[in-house]
Chain A
């Protein structure tokens, strides 16, 4: 099985090498532009499932996104992004933008959320030094939704000397997806499956609809491609739905943070810190998370990278008082070595040292998260106590065109 996966992965890699690095497809004198990005990954861990790494090495994860941008008229832009992997396909976002001026552009539709430094491009592997972004910020950590449904404005102001200011503001609804092990009770098990009994074992994907959301982001850049400071945040209210949600209806749901990035020719440094809160009283949950990431290019094509990340989850519910503390914690150190064929095609190898079980869990619990609380019975009864420490090795080929 592993050999078959490796062969499939190698075949995909060969295809990538042959295909890359073509430029975007430009039609009608630039009025229509088709771009895309994708990845193939291989992951191995010493026990827990973490990101794409598994105890049994996994090498068959292939993801491709297609991005279409049209400007039929000078002031009008239409943009959409489509997502594909073997198990599903989806529309990431689709919106229309009308440009009144550089300082005022109006957007409507399902719009990529302007939040943090990389929320809009968090799946694009050629824009970062590691295979994945920090999980406590950019993954299924429910910090924010991938996009909002509603209206927004954005623009850039004339430069003040070397400083350029731009802004985003929006209002609407968003669906925040979270996969965790400490909130809602698992769904009824299907025949032939087991229900994982305790909060420390059970998990499911929770979709929380946040209505009356409003938010924004302010960006100050010292140069178009250099040092950037961003402040971003939003606030909304949990909607009343029939289905299980993370927090009671009508309670507040908000997040805010600061992002700093320096992107030089040879050196890249990024750091972000966020705080998020949802619910009130016993249902209140708070997240505090931060990371710093640095990368250095050498010998033209090579890059060394390092990252430190820490996140803490504060749960007010007395029912969760006895939850193992490791489930509320994620600490990670990572080191990586990359080979960039060019800026559109890269091979990445990274090693991750993880402390905590917020994102690193036994595989049966990981599977439970993707089957809404049910999973095939483990061959051997799993140990109730999680192993808090995980080491993982991740290799990937990532490309864009």
Chain B
């Protein structure tokens, strides 16, 4: 392979993840034992609204969110298609109706990653720059 083609290929391989992450404001991470690699946005939304509480293999789902309002805003818009205010109203309805409570909230990306690592069945999201270690990165597809 000519040197120029090799260089172009190398540049493309290097640039692809950057292009992908530039489009996403967050990454979705799960415990390594979770046997799922990709989800649609609708499926991810149902997990974080606690409408689905079990993975396909029967394991219970634990959802965790970062406290960062910008990250939450981006997640709410892209996954739920709603604003943070509308989401808060949904959770007020769930809480005061005695149905369920919002996902666990952690103060930083590091705390989200640590929670997911320590809890089998956990799934959360963090900023693209977060050190996700050996966690499972879930790809999110449009429904």
B105 to chain A, nearest CB (A): 7
Contacts A35-B95, A95-B98 given; does A263 touch B104 at CB 8 Å: no
Closest chain B residue, CB of each to CB of A107? B98
Instruction: State the CA gap A69–B101 with chains docked (Å).
Output: 8
Instruction: State the CA gap A263–B88 with chains docked (Å).
Output: 13
Q: List chain B residues, Cβ under 8 A from A263.
A: 86, 89
A81 within 8 A of B: yes
B88 to chain A, nearest CB (A): 4
B89 pairs with A121, CB closer than 8 A: no
Q: Which of B51, B89, B98, B105 has a CB less than 8 Å from the CB of A156?
A: B51
In addition to A343-B88, A400-B96, 4 A-B residue pairs with Cβ atoms within 8 Å of each other are A37-B92, A102-B52, A127-B89, A344-B92
A29 within 8 A of B: yes
B82 to chain A, nearest CB (A): 6
A79 within 8 A of B: yes
B101 pairs with A30, CB closer than 8 A: yes
Q: List chain A residues, Cβ under 8 A from B93.
A: 121, 127
In order of increasing CB-CB distance, the 7 nearest A-B pairs are A30-B104, A120-B97, A33-B101, A79-B98, A343-B88, A343-B85, A74-B60
Chain A-chain B contacts (Cβ-Cβ < 8 Å), number:
93
Q: Residue-by-residue, is A106-138 near B (CB-CB < 8 Å gives 1, otherwise 0)?
A: 000001100000001100101100000000000
B113 within 8 A of A: no
Contacts A30-B104, A102-B54, A126-B89 given; does A24 touch B95 at CB 8 Å: yes
Q: How many residues in A have their beta carbons less than 8 Å from beta carbons of B?
A: 40
B51 pairs with A344, CB closer than 8 A: no
A99 to chain B, nearest CB (A): 7
A262 to chain B, nearest CB (A): 12
Q: Residue-by-residue, is A140-174 near B (CB-CB < 8 Å gives 1, otherwise 0)?
A: 00000000000000001001000010000000000
Q: List chain B residues, Cβ under 8 A from A111.
A: 98
B108 within 8 A of A: no
Instruction: State the CA gap A223–B51 with chains docked (Å).
Output: 12
Most buried by B among A74, A93, A343, A344: A343
Closest chain B residue, CB of each to CB of A300? B85
B92 pairs with A126, CB closer than 8 A: yes
Instruction: State the CA gap A100–B92 with chains docked (Å).
Output: 24
A282 within 8 A of B: no
Q: List chain B residues, Cβ under 8 A from A95.
A: 98
Closest chain B residue, CB of each to CB of A105? B99
